[in-house]
Amino acid sequence: MNQPSIRTDYKIDDRWRLQTGQLNVSPRFLFGPGPSNAHPRVLQALGMVQVGHLDPQFLEIMTEVQTLLRYAWQTDNRFTIPVSGTGSAAMEAGLANLIEPGDKVLIAANGYFGLRLIDMAQRYRAEVVSIQRPWGEVFSKAEIAGALEQHRPKILGIVHAETSTGACQPLEGIGELCRDHDCLLLVDTVTSLGGVPLFIDQWQIDVAYSGSQKCLSCPPGIAPLTMSERALEKLNARKDKVANWYLDMSLVGSYWGSERTYHHTAPINMNYALREALRLVAEEGLEARWKRHRRNAEMLWEGLGRLGLECHVPHEHRLSSLTTVKIPEGVDGKAVQKRLLEEFDIEIAGGLGELAGKVWRIGLMGYNSHPAKVSMLLKALETVL
């Protein structure tokens, strides 16, 4: 049998190799909504030699990652794992495992990622109802109590740190309300884990998910997920299989549980990186880390005020990790972003959804939450404006 001839129109020739050379990416200061710059120790861990995903050394690392995640989240949940995927994969895992067709799901949406929860829940054939607030505002406990009383859902989904608006949703007392109404509480902590006070057990949160690339200062690609015993009871009592095989936690749990049964090939080096990122959290201490993020956020807000810029979210509900800044009238927001990137290697982002063209999003997360970096950012912004 004749072998097909090799095509040569892909430009993979000696000239191409000489022109292109080894990959070399220009460094950037990532002050957008994520990813943030990874800590040097995390990058070093990422580059360590691989072992197999069932190697005894890696199994030990898995246990360490779970223990460190429990500390960062302040939970004793035995089901606390990193999902092999980005934060959106962990978001989908939370919904896919809890929702059975026809379940009533209440979503409190006040931004882009609340709307994503609605979209995902509908795809798993839930009966979705929602309460909504303007982007940048938060829900009162009374509003949530009224919605739970009216709709009697099996699951309440809410975003703790809304990355599209920079608003931090108060969660105290909501878990208790959910228990009073026999409802599970699912919380998006993607932009709060490791940067904003967060207490999974004390706040009676049943399911929480996050991302590695925000306040943990780890590259994107691995996503923490934790589930309470109440949530696991609902998963184990399902009448049908979870609709998403890859994200079926009844299967993945056997790999991350005591059995260590193969499910899929875990991203070895991303687990190395996450372990080091969580080690940094534990070394600094949660309270000190939360205070650092708040202190540097206050420094940013004061500096923005001196430049005549206004924040979108009221002070009492602002995230320490992410700030939305109103674009002044007559200023081309995208042009400012372009000049910051080209002249200072600084990335900030524009708005999403309803806030597109109206705000900039500035992140001070993890390794990037530092006074010297805040000063540099403010000086560059002043120069460009």
| Domain locations along the chain | 29-37+285-384, 40-282
Neighbour count for residue 11 (Cβ, 10 Å) = 10
Domain 40-282 in CATH 3.40.50.720: no
**Which pLDDT does position 17 carry in this prediction?**
58
Q: Tens digits of per-residue pLDDT, 305-343?
A: 999 999 999 999 999 999 999 999 999 999 999 999 999
Cross-strand partners of 159 = 188
Q: Where is 301: in which H helix or E strand?
A: helix 286-306
Note the maximum CA span of the chain: 75
Record the tokens describing residue 120, joined without a space.
């995902």
Are 213 and 89 in contact by the 8 Å Cβ rule? The answer is no
What is the mean pLDDT of the segment spanning 205-230?
Answer: 98
CA atoms within 13 A on the CB side of 229: 3
pLDDT higher than 60, residue 18 = no
CA atoms of 163 and 47, how far apart (whole Å) = 29
CA atoms of 63 and 57, how far apart (whole Å) = 10
Q: Tens digits of per-residue pLDDT, 280-310?
A: 999 999 999 999 999 999 999 999 999 999 9
CA atoms within 13 A on the CB side of 39: 24
Write down the CATH number for the domain with range 29-37+285-384: 3.90.1150.10
Burial of residue 4 (number of CB atoms within 10 Å: 0-12, 13-18, 19+): exposed
**Which pLDDT does position 54 carry in this prediction?**
87
pLDDT higher than 90, residue 270 = yes
Are 44 and 52 in contact by the 8 Å Cβ rule? The answer is no
Q: Residue 195 CA to chain centroid, in angstroms?
A: 11
What Cα–Cα distance (Å) separates residue 342 from each residue in 28, 93, 200, 338, 379? 10, 38, 41, 6, 15
Record the tokens describing residue 214, joined without a space.
């925000």
Record the tokens describing residue 381, joined without a space.
């912004």
Specify the DSSP class assigned to residue 292: H
What is the pTM for the complete model shown?
0.94
Are 36 and 30 in contact by the 8 Å Cβ rule? The answer is yes
Neighbour count for residue 15 (Cβ, 10 Å) = 9
